[in-house]
Chains A and B, each alone.
Chain A
Amino acid sequence: MNKELRPLFITWEYPPYKAGGIAAHCEDLATTMASQGYSPVVITYGEKEEKEFRDGVEIHRVPANNSTNNTLTWAMALGDRMEKKALELTKKQSFDLVHAHDWMTVPAATGIKKTLGLDMVFTVHSTQQGRDGINSDYQQAIHNLEWMGTYEAEQVITVGREFCEEVKHLYEVPEDKINYIPNGVDLDKFDSHSASLQRDNYALDWEQIVLFVGRMYPQKGPGHLIEAMPHILEQKPEAKFIMCGSGATEHYKGIAKSQVGDKVHFPGYVSDEALIGLMKEAEMTVAPSVYEPFGIVPLEAAACETATVGSYTGGMKDTIVHEYTGLHTYPEDHGSITNQVTRALNDPSWADWLGDNARDRVEDNFRWEQITSWTTGVYTEAVT
């Protein structure tokens, strides 16, 4: 791709604001592009209008109207403000394409595309059907917006191999405009982490940490791990379950505490520093997801040389190699989770070996430098 070309990223979340994985994805992609000589510009949500240069990336934040009655309306109104910002920026600089991330940015990105006559790339991180179905007019409206994003985009990127097929069939995307590019991991972030973990805050010296990281929603499957906990503890009383993440925490905490008492701890949303420390300290991470287009947790754990026990679904079919970089479980099957977690806890040196292999595989296959090259290749396809 011609490095003079300038992509305009449209994302509703960009660090330090982050609710899911899109923020980290956009930051890592934009930062790596900047380090390779491109000049990405980001328009994203913020509490107030502000501009920032960080790691070679120009970031513009626009506030939203928070009195809207649902997220779809919120995204539409935010889209109008994002487009206004884009038009303002084009008075001083030109863009060659607009790169939208997920349905919430489709109104803004298609508006910008159509007013400025730009080409568009659309990355689908998950689908409405996969998240919680298409059972109401509201869900249908979001599903239709996702379709419109794939329809209007010159090129579509999906983050999982199996997910790519799902998106292709769900939205009838032509073969020649859909691409699979996985997420990546910024290994430097994990390697440069030096803060020591206050382990006492999470587990006793003799306990083995089994770590869950993710939003506490059914899609991520925390309930299936909770169901497995008493059975795991019967065989491995040393296990200590740490459940990190926001969402319906109190709901799951109540259930888990009634099952295993102090053998489970819910610290809520933890900082990146603490999270990396926990991942390095844990015997394994467990990702019991029901639906997971990609699933970044196995890669982040791998960066920490920690293996993941994860459901054989979506992206984790690719990011975990069974009995080589981690262990697969049957989705929604607490018996399967019990078996695989216990296997790894019973043989810590084998678990270490799995973690080492996971790290090697991430270094070889999931570096942002490689992912950015693939992405700019898609840009070239989009603008020609």
Chain B
Amino acid sequence: MKILFLTRRFIDGDNVSEYVKALAEKATEKGHKAVILAFEDNENYTVDQKVRVERVPLHYEGDSLYSWSMMLNNEMKERARKYLDKEDFDIVHANDWLTVPGATAVGKYFEKPIVLTVHSTENQRGFNDPNSEVISEMEWKGCKEADKILVNSEDTYNSLKHDLDVQDHKIKVLNPLADNWQDSVLNTYEDLLKTEDKLIGE
């Protein structure tokens, strides 16, 4: 399998970065290919050499994290498209609302299955950002467009189910502190691809 990960940041010590790193390293260990797209913030990161990390620069600051991330996603779309024009990918894996616009645009246009990990929801974070409405809408959109949604806790599962009306069967709870959780994610990818193959076969 070839997996394209989208994450806002990729730096040592950041929870989402460590999550993506652990997944990408496990994927390459098992003989799969992993490419990570992240913002070029000149921060340090350490990762197995088999994992390819692509840094995406953005010459736009915006007036908020929301406006900044929307423009960052445009850059990610271009980088992802250039990759997909050269070599195929099987799965697009987004992390949080911050990469939903890029992942959904690329996934839908190139007809690739989308996996979204929701590390927390805007409701869980308190809904107190000036842009909470549009951030929550982006989470809702990501959940709607994703083929499978991964969450790290029952709390996030409940928030998706009750705050964002996500269908139960789309959500999978996988605790990243549990043993072999990465294998479960890889199995999820494979199940998705089998479903896709089956649908194409029909």
Q: Kindly report which residue of chain A lies nearest to residue B111, judged by CB atoms.
A: A91
Residues of A contacting B61 with CB < 8 Å? 140-141, 144
Interchain CA distance A117-B105 in the complex, whole Å: 13
Main DSSP-derived SS at the B contact region? helix
Known pairs A145-B60, A148-B59, A148-B60; A68 contacts B131 (CB<8 A): yes
Main DSSP-derived SS at the A contact region? helix
Tell yes or no: B173 within 8 A of A by CB: no
Q: Which one of B59, B81, B101, B134 contacts A117 once the chains associate, using CB atoms below 8 Å? A: B81
- B22 smallest CB distance to A (angstroms): 29
Q: Which one of B64, B75, B78, B109 contacts A73 once the chains associate, using CB atoms below 8 Å? A: B64
Tell yes or no: B137 within 8 A of A by CB: yes
Tell yes or no: A76 within 8 A of B by CB: yes
Q: Which one of B63, B138, B141 contacts A141 once the chains associate, using CB atoms below 8 Å? A: B63
Residues of B contacting A80 with CB < 8 Å? 70, 101, 138, 141
| Contact present for A115 and B63 (CB under 8 Å) | no
Task: Give the contact stretch, choosing among A2-10, A106-114, A298-306.
Answer: A106-114
Interchain CA distance A90-B74 in the complex, whole Å: 18
| Contact present for A107 and B109 (CB under 8 Å) | no
- B109 smallest CB distance to A (angstroms): 5
Segment 121-169 of A: residues with Cβ below 8 Å from B:
137-138, 140-141, 144-145, 148, 151
Known pairs A87-B109, A110-B71, A115-B81; A138 contacts B101 (CB<8 A): no
Known pairs A107-B74, A145-B60, A148-B59; A115 contacts B105 (CB<8 A): yes
Interchain CA distance A83-B141 in the complex, whole Å: 13
Interchain CA distance A68-B104 in the complex, whole Å: 22
B interface bracket (residues with beta carbon within 8 Å of A): 20 to 34
Q: Kindly report which residue of chain B lies nearest to residue A107, judged by CB atoms.
A: B70
- A98 smallest CB distance to B (angstroms): 12
A interface bracket (residues with beta carbon within 8 Å of B): 20 to 34
Residues of A contacting B64 with CB < 8 Å? 73
| Contact present for A115 and B109 (CB under 8 Å) | yes
Segment 60-78 of A: residues with Cβ below 8 Å from B:
65, 67-70, 72-73, 76-77
| Contact present for A115 and B77 (CB under 8 Å) | yes
Q: Kindly report which residue of chain A lies nearest to residue B85, judged by CB atoms.
A: A117
| Contact present for A76 and B108 (CB under 8 Å) | no
Residues of A contacting B73 with CB < 8 Å? 111
Tell yes or no: A79 within 8 A of B by CB: yes
A72-B67, A137-B63, A144-B62 known; 11 other A-B pairs, CB under 8 Å? A68-B131, A68-B134, A73-B67, A84-B105, A107-B70, A113-B78, A114-B74, A115-B77, A144-B61, A145-B71, A148-B71
Taking Cβ atoms with an 8 Å cutoff, the residues of B that contact A are 59-64, 66-67, 70-71, 73-75, 77-78, 81, 85, 101, 104-106, 108-109, 130-131, 133-134, 137-138, 141
Taking Cβ atoms with an 8 Å cutoff, the residues of A that contact B are 65, 67-70, 72-73, 76-77, 79-80, 83-84, 87, 90, 107, 110-111, 113-117, 137-138, 140-141, 144-145, 148, 151
